[in-house]
Amino acid sequence: MFGQKKHVRVRFAPSPTGPLNFGGVRTALFNWLFAKHEGGSFILRIEDTDRERSRPEFEDDIKESLSWLGLNWDELYRQTDRISNYEKYIAILLEKKFAYRCFCSEEDLKRDEEAQMSQGIQPKYGGRCRSIPPEEAARRAENEKHVIRVKIPEKEVSFHDLIRGKVTFNLGLIGDFIIAKSAKEPLYNFANVIDDFEMNITHVVRGEEHISNTPRQIAIQEALGFPPLIYAHLPLILGANKKKLSKRDLAKSISDYRKEGYLPHAIVNFLVLLGWHPKEDREVLSIEEMQKEFSFDRVQKSGGIFNIEKLDWFNGYYIRALSDETLTLLLEDIVPPEWIADKDKFIKAVAVEKERMKKLTDFAVAADFIFELPSYAPELLVWKQMSIETINENLKETADIFEKISEEDFNKKIIESKMMLFAEMRGRGEVLWPLRVALSGKNASPGPFDLAEILGKKEALRRIGHARTLLSKKI
Ligand code: GLU
């Protein structure tokens, strides 16, 4: 119908040659958000034509990570399931003489390249096999090793990029390139074009590193008479030093971050800002807000800076936004089972550590002392210039106060009200520091009243007793 908007169809087309990393998932996210914003479809296409490097376990990893992040797809395809399709188009190109069989050996090609380089010419295939009559080529192909090349015309091609505007390339620089190693072994640039056409893709959204593939793909599209596509080449992701992202950051997969205790919403919120920003430069965004506001005119051309501290900040933020119940459930999966034995104690420990956590795994490190007192040096109990005798005395009086509180009343509020009088009298640091260390064995921890409640009367007294034993050895 006149004026009717075309149904948007985008695809995320990873090659399963490694697990899903930040680069890949940022591409997936921008595709997904654009599809959601436009009421369109998001297609997942596994580009596994490179059989040597593709692995089923990487495909599984990609799918699992996308699902975990909530980037659900509407349709799923795998290129190796579609080989006969590519074969069909190779036949068409050969038939129309837009492609030809090439019998050049590696040595021939190497010699040509060296000759071109020595003349200061940018190397490209010189077209030796272009002129072999197709019938002769077909005959030779029966028992001679060959590849399929596409004929690339000497002309300029342009495409519309939603981030960069009109982009023009000179095809003359490219030369006839290989589209298939054999009829059953299509290569990336070719299979990609066929699928974009067959899957009715409207927009190609992918990383900037693919921009040099675009003129090659357009040349194939034109040879086959496919309609042009709209492109959006996303800016590179740069490391904190504005250089390319380090191998270490790139090598880490989404599943690694998941294992380390990052939340999906934190990762998505962090990634959406790698190249895009909403109006008023807000940073914390719900998934609905991202979907509503996403558009390519707010995607920058310059690289997005990958700053791990920012990811940690978002993660801490989203951990605190979880209810204590949800957080407890998530943590139950990653702590030693004996920690959950006393559920009440576990929930209290979660509530108190929640404020300080950046990652879920921080809990296991930060809260271990709640479940088992770590060994510590008695010197840690010393506040400023206090004498050992005074610390011991203060701890003894603290224990006396604790003894007088009943088990039922042994909560933060009551402990605090009973202790503060004493602490004001003797000095807060002098009373509360040794108590906190006695209960935690740590240099930094939640406050002593929170800890006393979580540990319970018996354990708190046991730990104070232990601290006094340590001190007595020093006297
Ligand atoms: N298979 C390509 C890759 O993993 C996809 C490129 C594209 O999106 O066109 O980088």
Which contiguous run of DSSP H or E holds residue 291?
A: helix 287-293
> Ligand 1 within 6 A of 362 CB?
no
User: What are 167's strand-pairing partners?
Assistant: 159
Q: Tens digit of pLDDT for each residue in 85-98?
A: 999 999 999 999 99
CB-based contact 314:273 (threshold 8 Å): no
Pair of tokens at residue 95: 């038939």
The verdict on 28 and 103 lying in the same domain is yes
Residues 224 and 139 in one domain: yes
**Atom number of ligand 1 nearest to Cα 17:** 4
Q: How far apart are CA 470 and CA 320, in angstroms?
A: 37
User: Does residue 365 share a domain with residue 403?
Assistant: no
Greatest distance between any 2 Cα atoms in the chain = 104
Residue 265 Cβ contacting ligand 1 at under 6 Å: no
What is the whole-number distance in angstroms between the Cα of residue 46 and the centre of ligand 1?
A: 9
Domain count within the chain: 4
Select which of 166, 243, 247, 404 is catalytic. Answer: 247
Strand order in the sheet with 147-150: 99-102, 147-150, 178-182, 185-186
Is residue 223 a part of any domain in this protein?
yes
Question: Helices H, strands E: what count in the chain?
Answer: 21, 13
Domain of residue 228: give its range. Answer: 9-237
Q: Region 338-356: what's the mean pLDDT?
A: 93
Residue 457 lies inside a defined structural domain of this protein: yes
Q: Are residues 222 and 271 in the same domain?
A: no
Q: Are 58 and 205 part of one and the same domain?
A: yes
* β-bridge pairing 147-150 and 99-102: antiparallel
As a whole number of angstroms, the distance between CA 243 and CA 432 comes to 48
Residue 299: predicted pLDDT: 97
Query: How high is the pLDDT of residue 1?
Result: 47
320/379 Cα distance (integer angstroms): 34
The Cβ of residue 403 has, within 10 Å, a number of other Cβ atoms equal to 10
Q: Ligand 1 pocket test: pick from 29, 189, 192, 218 the residue with the most ligand atoms within 8 Å of its Cβ.
A: 192
Residue 4 lies in a domain: no
pTM recorded for the entire structure: 0.91
Q: What is the mean pLDDT of the chain?
A: 95
Residue 242 forms part of a structural domain: no
Q: CB-based contacts of 197: which residues, under 8 Å, 6+ apart? A: 221, 224, 226, 227
**Closest residue by Cα to residue 199 from 76, 88, 93, 38:** 76
What is the length of the chain?
475
Q: Are residues 113 and 46 in the same domain?
A: yes
Q: What is the CATH number of the domain that holds 297?
A: 1.10.1160.10
Question: Per-residue pLDDT tens for 386-409?
Answer: 999 999 999 999 999 999 999 999
CB-ligand 1 contact for 20 (6 Å cutoff): no
pLDDT digits (tens, 9 = 90+) for 98-155: 999 999 999 999 999 999 999 999 899 999 999 999 999 999 999 999 999 999 999 9
What local confidence, expressed as pLDDT, does residue 226 receive? 98
Whether 50 maps to a domain, the answer reads yes
CB 388 within 8 A of CB 380: no
Q: Look at residue 475 in the predicted model and tell me its pLDDT.
A: 66
List the CATH number of the domain containing 398.
Answer: 1.10.10.350
Residue 44 φ/ψ, nearest 5 degrees? -105, 120
The answer to the question of residue 1 being in a domain is no
CA–CA distance from 80 to each of 15, 47, 55 (Å)?
A: 11, 8, 12
Give the CA count within 13 Å in the CB-facing half-sphere of 14: 28
Q: What is the Å distance from ligand 1's center to 100 Cα?
A: 25
Say if residue 41 is in the same domain as residue 56.
Answer: yes
Does the Cβ of 43 fall within 6 Å of ligand 1? no
Gap from CA of 27 to ligand 1 centroid (Å): 10
Is 124 tagged catalytic? no
Are 114 and 188 found together in one domain?
yes
pLDDT tens string 425-441: 999 999 999 999 999 99
Q: Quote the ligand 1 centre to 17 CA distance (angstroms).
A: 11
Atom of ligand 1 nearest to the CA of 14: 4
pLDDT tens-digit series, residues 358-375: 999 999 988 999 999 889
**CB 223 near ligand 1, within 6 Å:** no
Evaluate if residue 264 carries a pLDDT over 90.
yes
Q: Check which CATH number belongs to the domain holding 223 and give it.
A: 3.40.50.620
Going by alpha carbons, the residue nearest to atom 10 of ligand 1 is 14
Tokens 């399963």 locate to 16
> How far, in Å, from the CA of 56 to the mean position of ligand 1?
17
Q: Which long-range contacts (CB under 8 A, 24 or more apart) does 119-124 make?
A: 122/173, 124/173, 124/174, 124/175
- Give me 322's structure tokens: 């979880």
Hey, what amino acid is at 444? A
- State whether the Cα torsion 50-53-56-58 is positive or negative: negative
Same domain, 159 and 170: yes
Sign, Cα dihedral of 264, 266, 271, 277 = positive
Q: Distance between terminal CA atoms of the chain?
A: 93
At residue 324's C-alpha, the angle toward residues 321 and 327, to 5°, is 75
Residue 3 forms part of a structural domain = no
> How many other C-beta atoms can be found within 10 angstroms of the C-beta atom of residue 42?
22
Ligand 1 touching residue 47 (CB < 6 A):
yes
- Residue 450: pLDDT above 90? yes
Tell me how far apart the alpha carbons of residues 434 and 322 are, in angstroms, rounded to a whole number: 33
- Domain assignment present for residue 455? The answer is yes
More confident site: 55 or 249:
55
Positive/negative CA dihedral, 233, 238, 244, 245: negative
Task: Report the C-alpha gap between 20 and 71 in whole angstroms.
Answer: 13
Nearest-atom number in ligand 1 for the CA of 11 is 8
pLDDT at 250: 67
Q: Please, what sign has the CA dihedral across residues 274, 279, 283, 285?
A: negative
Query: Which atom, in ligand 1's list, is nearest to the CA of 209?
Result: 10
Question: What Å distances lie between residue 308 and 101, 246, 419, CA to CA?
Answer: 49, 12, 42
- pLDDT for 244 beyond 80: no
Dist CA 377 CA 279 (whole Å): 53
Which atom of ligand 1 lies at the shortest distance from residue 217's CA? 9
For β-strands 237-238 and 99-102, DSSP reports them as unpaired
- Looking at the fold, whether 100 and 149 belong to one and the same domain comes out as yes
353 CB under 6 A from ligand 1?
no
Query: Are residue 49 and residue 160 in the same domain, yes or no?
Result: yes
Ligand 1 geometric centre to CA of 335 (Å): 38
Judge if 329 and 433 occupy the same domain.
no
